[in-house]
Structures are given as C-alpha cells and as structure tokens.
Amino acid sequence: MSNEPKKETQDAGAMPDWSAYRGVLIVIEQRDGEAKKVSWQLLGEGKKLAAKLEVPLLALVIGNGVEPLAKEAAYYGADKVYLCEAPELGVYRTRPYSRICLKLIDEVKPEIVLFGATGTGRDLAGAIATHLPTGLTADTTELDVEPHPSRLLLASRPAFSEKMMATILCKQYRPQMATARAGVFQALPRDETREAEIIRIESLMPEEEIAAQVIDFIRDTGNLNLEEADIIVSGGRGLGGPEPFAMLKELADALGGVVGASRAAVDAGWIKHEHQVGQTGSTVRPKLYFAIGISGAVQHTVGMGNSDIVIAINRDEKATIFQFAHYGIVGDLFKIVPAITEEVKKRKS
C-alpha cells in the first residue's frame, strides 16, 4: 500500500511547478516475452514528442525473462529502459504491475506516460490513474505536444459517436497519461546499433502478497488479432452476403493472414464486429491489405490507409478505394479472388 500515492486535489486556478517532471515514458506490453506491436509504435511516436520537448525517451519493461525486450526497446528508439524481471511477473496481474509503474513514476517523474489501448494497457493505465493525482485520456489516435513552457500533451481521440475529434489536455497535473490505439502510429525502423542505458528495478510484491492467482490462460479460440496482423483480407458490401467471406478466409489462410471487413458488411450481419476495420472498428497497419468489394469511404480508409501495400479489387474503376491502392484490379471479385488464392497455393506447394 505504501507504494500507492494517494489521490490529491489541486486548486484549479493555480498552475503548479511541474519542472521536476521530465521525459516521455512508454510502458511496453508483452505476453510470453513477445512485445505487442503497439509498444514499438508508441516508442516511434514518443520519440517525436521527446524530441520536441528535448527530453529522453524512456521505456518500462515488466515480466519474467524479458531482458531481450529491453534491448529491443533500445533498437526501437528508447534512450533509457527500466527493466523489472521476476517469476511472479510472468503473467500480467494488475496489482504487481501497477505497483511497479507507480513507484517508477514517483521516482523518475516522467511528464508523459503512454500505454497501448489494449485490454492489458487499459487495465494497467486505469489502475495507475486511480492512484495518481492526474487524469488519463483513453484510446487516443493523435498525439502532439506544445513546446516549452506549457509542455502540454495534446491527446486527441474521436468523440461524440466518432463524429468529431476532441483534443484533451491535462493542464493541472503530472504525469500526463494516455492510452493509444494500436496501428495508428508508426514504429521507427528496428536498428540494432541503437543503444540504451538499461536500469534494473525491483519487483515489489512477492507471490504470497498477490491476491489474484492465474489458474489458466485460455487463448481466444477465434484468434483474431487484426491490429497485430501482417496480412489482412477485407471484404465489403460487394460480397453480397455472408457466404463469400469463406472465399476471403481461404485467401487469408493461404497467405497466413486474417479476414477484415467494412462496416457495411458488419452492419448487414455477415461477419462479426471484431473484424471491422475503420473509424469505429480497428485501425490497422499491416504489410499487405486487400480491400475487396469495398468502395473506400473515409471511415474505412482512415483505419487502413497506413498499410504498407494495399490491393483493391472492385468492379467500379472509379471507386475511391483505388486512390489508396498500390495495386488495383478492376473486375468481378468472384472471379479474381479464387484466381489469386489458387496462384498463392500453387506457389506455396
């Protein structure tokens, strides 16, 4: 308990002196020693913020046997990495992880702390925010800072049923904290020549003090992870019904990818919402994105426009999606998709 600072209130009129708080801290999320891509994306964005503020980019890695990730954090841009390793940290649990974060924030005093807006990141950031005299902006899609002297984090996110963007400031308190959507920000190219100071910190709760015990870990049987996927084969209203999604799944399987969808297909009940790409779905940044029978509405392209390569298949040569495509195929998707799948399978065998 002693490591959890009490929530304090502040006179809203007075601008406190926050000069002791410096640096941008990214909390790296991992599972089984593998980092979530959003962590590296946040290091990329954090680097820009840190450069504007002229402060170091800090990373925190928590887990068991995760030293390689501390090095990876350096390769992706961190100047200094705090590493906390212990057997009881092998699986994420709120209390031990949040204690470590709180103590580090208390001692290092970063002015900005960022987490991925994943299930774990949301849980951890929320737990920390309840113990700190500060706020938390959830699910941000744009980040910027005002330079010195205000040094304010400009954390933007869709608001009012996604109809407008709201930029949220935390003027009175530090650190300024936000969770950020996966797939929105760009990671720096991995560079093994980058070095960082790695500082080991102690785990704070021995196993016997942790009330929550993990009995078993059951993976989602659907195993859909759009935001982490390298290849996405998305279908839209042009598919005309739920059945053709099996055809897209066949192509996705052949390529080692997953199936995505436009909102029109989801709203029609042809595929579950977890597959939806776009403003009210997932923001994705795969190496390869197929947009099949999708017209290219802004609410869709905002979620996939950062893909490395986009292949659009549409029978309407004037469809907007072709403006976002690196390769466009004009024609009937029911002829083109099976032909691509067949060719992929042939080349693999």
Q: Is 236 in the site for ligand FAD (CB under 6 A)?
A: yes
Q: Which residue in 26, 293, 310, 325 binds ligand FAD (CB under 6 A)?
A: 293
**CA distance linking residue 31 with residue 53, whole number of Å:** 31
| Piece in contact with ligand FAD (CB under 6 A), picked from 63-71, 93-101, 125-133, 329-337 | 329-337
At closest approach, how far in Å is the CB of 105 from ligand FAD?
Answer: 34
HSE-CB at 27 with a 13 A cutoff on CA atoms is 29
Q: Is 333 in the site for ligand FAD (CB under 6 A)?
A: yes
Q: Is 279 in the site for ligand FAD (CB under 6 A)?
A: yes
Residue placing its CB nearer to ligand FAD in the complex, 191 or 342: 342
Site string for ligand FAD, 115-144 (x = CB under 6 A): ------------------------------
Residue type, 341: T
At closest approach, how far in Å is the CB of 299 from ligand FAD?
Answer: 3
**CA distance linking residue 152 with residue 150, whole number of Å:** 5
DSSP letter, residue 19: T
At closest approach, how far in Å is the CB of 186 from ligand FAD?
Answer: 20
Query: Cβ contacts of residue 140 below 8 Å, gap of 6+?
Result: 117, 155, 156, 157, 168, 178, 179, 180, 181
Query: Cβ contacts of residue 243 below 8 Å, gap of 6+?
Result: none
Q: Which residue in 4, 315, 328, 345 binds ligand FAD (CB under 6 A)?
A: 315
Of 177, 173, 176, 175, nearest to 16 (Cα)? 173
DSSP letter, residue 34: E
| Piece in contact with ligand FAD (CB under 6 A), picked from 28-36, 71-79, 190-198, 230-238 | 230-238
Asked whether 180 and 42 are in contact (CB, 8 A), the reply is yes
DSSP letter, residue 277: B
Sign of CA dihedral 223, 228, 232, 236: positive
| Piece in contact with ligand FAD (CB under 6 A), picked from 4-12, 194-202, 214-222, 313-321 | 313-321
Asked whether 9 and 31 are in contact (CB, 8 A), the reply is no
> Which SS3 state, helix, strand or coil, does residue 208 take?
helix
Q: Is 249 in the site for ligand FAD (CB under 6 A)?
A: no
Site string for ligand FAD, 152-171 (x = CB under 6 A): ----------xx--------
Total of residues contacting ligand FAD (CB under 6 A): 30
Q: Is 263 in the site for ligand FAD (CB under 6 A)?
A: yes
Q: Is 299 in the site for ligand FAD (CB under 6 A)?
A: yes
**CA distance linking residue 146 with residue 168, whole number of Å:** 12
**CA distance linking residue 280 with residue 263, whole number of Å:** 8
Q: Which residue in 280, 288, 311, 344 binds ligand FAD (CB under 6 A)?
A: 280
Q: Is 297 in the site for ligand FAD (CB under 6 A)?
A: yes
**CA distance linking residue 69 with residue 27, whole number of Å:** 12
Residue placing its CB nearer to ligand FAD in the complex, 116 or 293: 293
By CB under 6 A, what part of segment 67-96 binds ligand FAD? none
Q: Which residue in 116, 183, 238, 257 binds ligand FAD (CB under 6 A)?
A: 238
Query: Is residue 328 within a helix (H) or strand (E), and if so which, with residue range?
Result: strand 327-330
Question: Would you tell me which residues interact with ligand FAD (CB under 6 A)?
Answer: 162-163, 236-238, 262-265, 276-281, 293-295, 297, 299-300, 303, 313-316, 319, 332-334
